[in-house]
Amino acid sequence: SNFNAATSRSANLASSGVLDAYNCFNSRAAPAPSSATTTASGPLSGCTISVKDNICTQDMPTTASSLMLKDYASSYDATVVSLLRSAGADIVGKTNCDEFGMGSDNVHSHFGPVINPAMGGREAEEQKRSAGGSSGGAAASVKAGYCRIAIGSDTGGSIRLPASYCGLWGLKPSYGLISRWGLISYADSLDTIGVLADNWSECQETFDVLSAPDKKDPTSAGEQVRSAADEVADEALSKFSSSSAPGTEGCLRGLRIGIPTTLFPSSLDAQVLPSFSRLLCHLEDHLGASIIPVELPSTGLALSAYYVIASAEASSNLARYDGVRYGFRSEEEKLPGEHPYAATRSTGFGEEVRKRILLGTHALSADAFDNTFLAAQRIRQTIKDEFDQVFRIPNVLHGRGAQTEQHAPSALSAGSQEGVDVLLHPSAVNTAPLLSALMPSSSTEEACPVGFSAPAGSAGLDEYVQDLLTVSSSLAGLPSVSMPLGRGAQDGWPIGMMATSQWGMEKVLGQLAEGLQ
């Protein structure tokens, strides 16, 4: 076969603790797929990039870290992979992740957990921490220095949470800007492909290569809406363009930064706030930005709505793994009367995935549909509307300026009828959690993402609560970046903060990022 997980490169890495970040290394002997044209002069020429293992590659297996797809080899490259190859990137391997992207700590992988390398990865066994999930391998691959850039996917925080835990930059772009063709679907209406790197410029350069219309993805944004967004972004930037160089006194004068009070939950780690307040002072006093408290009342319901919608879509998407056409097939002795389909799915999927399928199937059943799935969709719409109301930048998906006509100015952006350009809040409620507290065997059985019936403090429930701050922008399809905010004063582990802007406003996020970099 053309691909082989064991290469001499991987052997060297075994001792450095990087192996758990990768499911497969690119064998240099493998010929480049004939369909790909690798240009030595492309914008990513010679740049080492890892690709999350739920994104199809022709020259390496694509497993989504599931037994179900353990030996699956795609016959084609995902659109993003073709774009990377054409831009001259050196794809080094496929990174470990939570099975089908379902998880927040990369502990639900058929290939085992990913160890967070932010402190060298050489801590005592019981001190090792999670790299975050589901793109934990992606974050670890960059942090451990094995590649410059990682391509991950983010459905409800899977790029931003690992970036925060590992002290990296992680960009989840606006929904529809980067093609999902060749991404193994988790929840189509939320799935995005994005970038993790050590600095903003590399995120931005990679985003520029990958952001393109794609006929193969029906949800890919077309040329028209892209140029409308570009126009709106330029107009927005002109309001806070400054003659000062990025990072210098007054460089963000005119930028209006909203602080969503609802995204500072009581569960927030005490280490996070001091760093965040210092940053706000810096933004206001030195860089000249305005800090404005805003309210997004419905974001408090986002986590429940997210888990209903994501699980419902997942239950439908995962129906295709039936062991008949491709993928794993259980050869176990069937119980009398048991269908091979049931045996295949109960063995091929891990516990977390089966939990989501059950939850999603329930949410879509006739009895539960109105009170769960429809209710969650209504919350999603309300959250979108609230974002549109707090931003002064119009949402081009509704036609330019449409939302200002539809919604009367409300008390949402209290203190400012004018609205804000970006929202800023912590990326996560805590620093990276200890792996020992997270491994599936130690989590409680009662853990359930909806209804919060599990006893407070159970490890299983904690996992879902980690997504508290990331899911709102996913539900609204907005661009969102997690940026490193130093290290916790108590434990010394990385802290992240998250900036979100209006749909298509990656450039606005860039302006803030460059000011802070």
Q: Which residue numbers are catalytic?
A: 52, 134, 158
What is the helix (H) or strand (E) element at residue 425, kind and residue range? strand 422-426
Q: Can residue 103 be called a binding residue for ligand GLN (CB under 6 A)? A: yes
Under the criterion CB under 6 A, does residue 258 sit at the interface with ligand GLN? Answer: no
Beta bridge partners of 196: 150, 170
Question: 3-state SS string over 169-225?
Answer: EEEECCCCCECCCCECCCCCCCCEEEEEECCHHHHHHHHHHHECCCCCCCCCCCHHH
Residue 155 binding ligand GLN, by CB under 6 A: yes
Give the orientation angle of helix 79-86 with respect to helix 200-210, to 10 degrees.
110
Locate 60 and state its tokens: 């390496």
Stretch that binds ligand GLN, among 1-9, 102-110, 121-129, 320-328 (CB under 6 A): 102-110
Q: How far is the CB of 435 from ligand GLN (least distance, A)?
A: 16
Helix (H) or strand (E) holding 95: strand 90-95
Q: How far is the CB of 137 from ligand GLN (least distance, A)?
A: 13
Q: Which of 53, 214, 467, 506 binds ligand GLN (CB under 6 A)?
A: 467
Q: Residue 222 is encoded by which pair of tokens? A: 């077309």
Q: Is 115 helix (H, G, I), strand (E, B) or coil?
A: strand
Using the rule CB under 6 A, is 117 a contact of ligand GLN?
Answer: no
In this complex, which beta carbon is closest to ligand GLN, that of residue 59 or of residue 98? Answer: 98
Among 89, 102, 303, 498, binds ligand GLN (CB under 6 A): 102
Cis peptide before 227 (omega within 30 of 0): no
Region 133-152 residues binding ligand GLN, contact defined as CB under 6 A? 134
**Smaller CB separation from ligand GLN, 310 or 505:** 310
Instruction: Decide: is 480 part of the binding site for ligand GLN (CB under 6 A).
Output: no
| Closest chain position to ligand GLN (CB) | 158
Of 398, 392, 482, 79, nearest in space to 225 by CA: 398
Interface residue with ligand GLN among 42, 136, 156, 348 (CB under 6 A) is 156
String of contacts with ligand GLN for each residue 427-466, x by CB under 6 A: ----------------------------------------
Residues 6+ positions from 175 with CB-CB distance below 8 Å: 189, 190, 192, 219, 477, 478, 503
Query: Taking Cα atoms as reference points, which of 208, 184, 181 lies closest to residue 197?
Result: 208
Place of tokens 């709505």: 305
Beta-carbon contacts of 378 under 8 Å, excluding residues fewer than 6 positions away, are none
Contacts (CB under 6 A) with ligand GLN, residues 166-195: 186
159 or 232, CB closer to ligand GLN?
A: 159
CB of 98 to ligand GLN, least distance (A): 7
Task: Note the residues at the interface with ligand GLN (CB under 6 A).
Answer: 101-104, 134, 154-158, 186, 310, 467
